[in-house]
Amino acid sequence: MTTSESPITIDVGDAAVSGAFAEPDGAFATLVVAHGAGAGMDHQFLTGFTRALNALGVATLRFNFPYREAGKKFPDRPPAAIAAWRAALDAAAARSGGRPLWAAGKSFGGRMASMAVAEGMPAAGLVYLGYPLHPPGKPEKIRDAHLYGLTVPMLFLQGTRDPFATPDLLEAVAARIGPAATVQWREGGDHSFAVAGLKRDADEVGASLAASVAEFLKTHGKSPAGLAS
């Protein structure tokens, strides 16, 4: 049975962004999901991912970053993106009745979630759908410094052919983070989790990640302190 989504508006400072909240009966957790740099919250990958999670008992809230809401192409700077993350998590908290609240994102959205948590945003944990550890072909420009102070459970879902995260380098980063970090590889997947020779629509690709995420949330979830119920 498909869980219906409710459109919502989230205030971010003097502006507002769009969101979509879905709450299946008996949900055991809420996952707030941010989009990547090149697509908004209604990209098929994200809608397929969140709808599959709803079917597995996870409530979801997708949202746009301010730049996307304004029709701009260049992503927000971290302060604006982090402000949007905080507002989206607060909006989810107000609708979640005390359930564990998790932060997730595709690429840029996941990295901004991790920076928000590093700056004190209270989430039960983090889920990265293709973490952009470094620019393609430039592993020396690694974006990892803020990750080592995080103690919440973190799931890195990554394709083995993702040019934004050299496998050996990501494994080394996860090892340095310690037990809080779990890496799950998708064999042959690129940065969008597409696999050469395997024809799948973007919504099907997103949905294929849901079971692993739901299981991780169920295993590691707990309610963070300081959030409204």
Q: Indicate which CATH number applies to the domain containing 173.
A: 3.40.50.1820
31-79 pLDDT, tens per residue?
A: 999 999 999 999 999 999 999 999 999 999 999 999 999 999 999 999 9
In a domain, 225, yes or no: no
Q: Is residue 228 part of a domain?
A: no
Per residue in 177-222, pLDDT (tens digit) is 999 999 999 999 999 999 999 999 999 999 999 999 999 999 997 6
Distances (CA, A) of 64 to 4, 9, 161: 19, 10, 27
Q: ∠ CA(67), CA(41), CA(134), 5° rounding? A: 70
Rounded-to-integer distance, Cα 139 and Cα 133, Å = 8
Q: Please, is 176 exposed, middle or buried when counting C-beta atoms within 10 Å of its C-beta (0-12, 13-18, 19+)?
A: exposed
pLDDT number for residue 79: 97
Residue 79 makes CB contacts below 8 A (sequence gap 6+) with none
Query: What's the pLDDT at 29?
Result: 97
- Structural domain of residue 142, as residue ranges? 5-220
Kindly report the pTM of this predicted structure: 0.94
Residue 96 maps to a domain? yes
What's the rounded Cα separation, in Å, for the pair 158 and 181?
13
pLDDT at 225 over 50: no
The pLDDT score that the predictor gives to residue 3 is 83
Q: Rounded to a whole number, what is the distance in angstroms from the first to the last CA of the chain? A: 27
Among candidate residues 100, 126, 121, the one with its CA nearest the CA of residue 34 = 126
- Tokens representing 155 are 């799931």
pLDDT higher than 70, residue 159: yes
Question: pLDDT digit string (tens) for 103-152?
Answer: 999 999 999 999 999 999 999 999 999 999 999 999 999 999 999 999 99
Is residue 177 assigned to a domain?
yes
What pLDDT is attached to residue 221? 73
User: Is residue 226, in this structure, part of any structural domain at all?
Assistant: no
Domain count for the chain: 1
Q: Is residue 28 part of a domain?
A: yes
Section 162-188 average pLDDT: 97
**Residue 227 maps to a domain:** no
pLDDT for position 2: 79
Would you state the torsion angle of the CA atoms of residues 36, 41, 44, 47, taken in this order, to the nearest 10 degrees? 120
Q: What is the pLDDT of residue 226?
A: 37
> Does the residue 42 lie in any domain?
yes
Residue 105 near residue 130, CB atoms below 8 Å: no
